[in-house]
Structure 1
Amino acid sequence: MKALTAARWIQWCIIMVVVIVPITATTTEDEAVGKKLSYTTVTFELKYGVEPLKGYSSFLTRLRNAVEAPTRACGLQFTRKVPLTGKQYVLVDLKFSNTQWVTLGIDAKDLYVWAYQDNVKYNGKFRANFLGDAPQSAKNSLFPGSTKRTTRFGGNYNSLEPAAGVTRNNIVLGTQNLDGAIKRVYGKQEGVLNQGKDEAKFFLIAIQMVAEAARFKFMEQGIVKGDKTTAFKAKMVAFQNDWDPISQAIHRAEAAARKCTTISPTLVISNTGYRQEVNRVDAVKNDMGLLKYKSIGSSVVNSILADDGGSSLEFLESAVL
């Protein structure tokens, strides 16, 4: 009887090992893969002088090229829905000297900025600062070996703008402002970052000048020209909120019988102080720098738009952003 009991105990131990070990191994494997990957790094060197934004447009071009799919939609670049292995993220170095910079960790498929790391060691280790809503997959993959810290605010604008104490309509964009925002977080202890609005403002400015400007060509051009008009800001916010529906409308036009000509149903790009009804691809094509990947469910969204004139999609977009 004792021998039988002992045999059953050994059998249960074997079962437990079989069930538990693969889970542990998977976690270890994910972490190991993250440590081995070396993501593409795109660098922007902040410069002053006669041409303070010299190199900015070429930087954004290199960023778009780093995340683009191999094909085009109506001649426009778009992101890969499933990035290649080792290309799931792209790193952006924002350098304000030869030895001082912050690195942004960006999701390659949608250009979401999830974190930054400054080129400073704290207690012997680098520190990566992740937004409050950053997914665990980003935390596992970006900045391996660094101390991981999470901010008290998320990356969506409903959280980020109040934390920064400024809205996209009011924020000033340009090299000097980006430089100042970087220096207010660079080398700062965690206790300092947890107080005040500097870190949220840095994220807001960096997201505008990197991710959003890569998506929208008119925004890149406006920043280079120093456009601070109310009209520019209103259009900027409206297009940012509607990046996905604009992208899907152009993808549908690419697949239409009259390729890249009409947009149907009518696409409404709107926000407080701005409204544009778009029926033709050429009405928005020159405004775009990078489209989002083609969504499988775009035909479903299309039918919803046809039923209610687009109000459901506008609500969903505003809720997400």
Structure 2
Amino acid sequence: MKSVLVVTLWLWTMLVPAAWAATLVLDIGGATEKTYSDFMTKLRTEAKGKDPMYVGLSMMPKPTKPPTYLLVELKVSKDMSITLSLSRNDLYVVGYSDMYKGKCRYHVFPDHDSKKPPYEQHSLCDKAKDAIRKPIGYVSSYTEIERKAKVRNRKEIGLGVNKLKTLIPKVYGSESKDYQDEAKFLLVAIQTIAEAARFPYIEKIAETAANPDDTAICLENNWSKISKEIYNQFKGNPQTPAKDVTVRTCKNLKGINQVQKYITLLSYQGTSRQQLTKRNVVSVLSICS
């Protein structure tokens, strides 16, 4: 039986001293796959750059220094939520915050922590002067997060909003020095939110509360490579015929309609001189088996 969830979504923007962030709120509570799908559509729209689409695929914007951030609040109830901070450069999750007992606590991966106030570097905790810094005790690589979660592979943990609903209460307000629950939460959150935004294939896994399979793991590990392969097919020649377009990374997919079932948001690779549309070209792509 497919998992059910109710998602209430709204969008607003706010300005902060050194980086601006838009906030999407995912209000977790009961039924429908459609509401999660609608949320992912809003997230992709907010994340993508302004450049034309590549055969129906969107691309992340050109990276900025300093980065700007996109916040996703995962709201379990009016009294419990966790907010993720995602870099607009690559949609990587750099940290999260929770408001506990009137204090905003911010948790940032050490490989993304500049030691500046949270609202200056990751837009976390807004402008709270009494924010509490709670560093994440491991870097943001999947290998390290899996190790702290005490799992051999992230395929062991199911995805989806209901899984987040179970894990968030174990992390919210926690003072535990054992990183296992936090790492499990981050594995699920990163894939259910950020990876699902890149890959509709992973979105479908999250919708049904399934575990990620080998194809999903391959996609996650090869996002930049796949994006570059797609971009290089059309760079300088948007009229490239289908018979001349081949990319080989894991699993054979042919035609843009099939490709879009697996990937929809590319990492930034550069710009094209003209728009690439379904009318111009049909893609041949090999992604992951």
TM-score in same-fold range (> 0.5): yes
Q: CA deviation at 1:77?
A: 1.4
Who is 1:154 aligned against?
139
Is residue 105 of structure 2 the alignment partner of residue 127 of structure 1?
yes
Q: CA deviation at 1:102?
A: 0.7
Is residue 289 of structure 2 the alignment partner of residue 289 of structure 1?
no
Q: Which of these residues, 174, 190, 194, is aligned with residue 207 of structure 1? A: 190
Structure number with the higher helix fraction is: 1
Query: What is the 5 A alignment of 1:276-315?
Result: 276-277=251-252, 283-294=258-269
Q: CA deviation at 1:254?
A: 3.2
CA distance in 1, matches of 2:241, 2:42: 28
Who is 1:197 aligned against?
180
CA separation of 1:62 and 1:151: change in aligned 2, threshold 3 A: same
CA distance in 1, matches of 2:243, 2:205: 26
Scaled by the length of structure 1, the TM-score of the pair is 0.69
Structure of higher RCO (CA pairs closer than 8 Å, 6+ residues apart): 2
CA distance in 1, matches of 2:195, 2:91: 8
Who is 2:23 aligned against?
41
Q: Secondary structure at the match of 1:110?
A: coil
Cα pair 1:74 1:250 within 8 Å, conserved: no
Q: CA deviation at 1:48?
A: 1.7
Query: What is the 5 A alignment of 1:129-144?
Result: 129-136=107-114, 140-142=120-122, 143=124, 144=127
Who is 2:54 aligned against?
73
Q: CA deviation at 1:242?
A: 0.8
Q: Secondary structure at the match of 1:126?
A: strand
User: Residue 198 of structure 1 aligns to which amino acid in structure 2?
Assistant: D
CA distance in 1, matches of 2:160, 2:25: 16
Q: Which of these residues, 236, 247, 257, is aligned with residue 216 of structure 2? A: 236
Scaled by the length of structure 2, the TM-score of the pair is 0.76
Which runs of 4 or more aligned residues in structure 1 lie more than 6 Å from their structure 2 counterparts after TM superposition?
A: none
Q: Secondary structure at the match of 1:104?
A: strand
Q: CA deviation at 1:115?
A: 0.7
Q: CA deviation at 1:291?
A: 1.1
Larger radius of gyration: 1
Q: Secondary structure at the match of 1:127?
A: strand
CA separation of 1:148 and 1:216: change in aligned 2, threshold 3 A: same
CA distance in 2, matches of 1:74, 1:249: 13
Is residue 165 of structure 2 the alignment partner of residue 185 of structure 1?
no
Is residue 173 of structure 2 the alignment partner of residue 173 of structure 1?
no
Q: Secondary structure at the match of 1:74?
A: coil
- Structure 1: 5+ residue runs without aligned partners? 1-32, 270-274, 297-321
CA separation of 1:117 and 1:252: change in aligned 2, threshold 3 A: same
User: Residue 79 of structure 1 aligns to which amino acid in structure 2?
Assistant: M
Q: Secondary structure at the match of 1:35?
A: coil
Cα pair 1:116 1:130 within 8 Å, conserved: yes
Cα pair 1:45 1:95 within 8 Å, conserved: yes
Indicate the RMSD between aligned Cα atoms, in angstroms: 2.8
CA separation of 1:295 and 1:279: change in aligned 2, threshold 3 A: farther
User: Residue 171 of structure 1 aligns to which amino acid in structure 2?
Assistant: I
Q: CA deviation at 1:59?
A: 1.0
- Percent of residue pairs bearing the same amino acid type: 28
Cα pair 1:80 1:293 within 8 Å, conserved: yes
CA separation of 1:182 and 1:54: change in aligned 2, threshold 3 A: farther
Tell me the number of residue pairs that the alignment of Structure 1 and Structure 2 aligns. 248
CA distance in 2, matches of 1:135, 1:263: 46
Is residue 100 of structure 2 the alignment partner of residue 91 of structure 1?
no
1:153-183 residue CA offsets vs partner (Å, 9 max, x unmatched): 1111111111112222211112221111111
Q: CA deviation at 1:93?
A: 0.5
User: Residue 156 of structure 1 aligns to which amino acid in structure 2?
Assistant: S
Who is 2:5 aligned against?
none
CA distance in 1, matches of 2:24, 2:243: 34
Q: CA deviation at 1:148?
A: 2.3
Q: CA deviation at 1:47?
A: 1.9
Cα pair 2:26 2:72 within 8 Å, conserved: yes
Cα pair 1:115 1:130 within 8 Å, conserved: yes
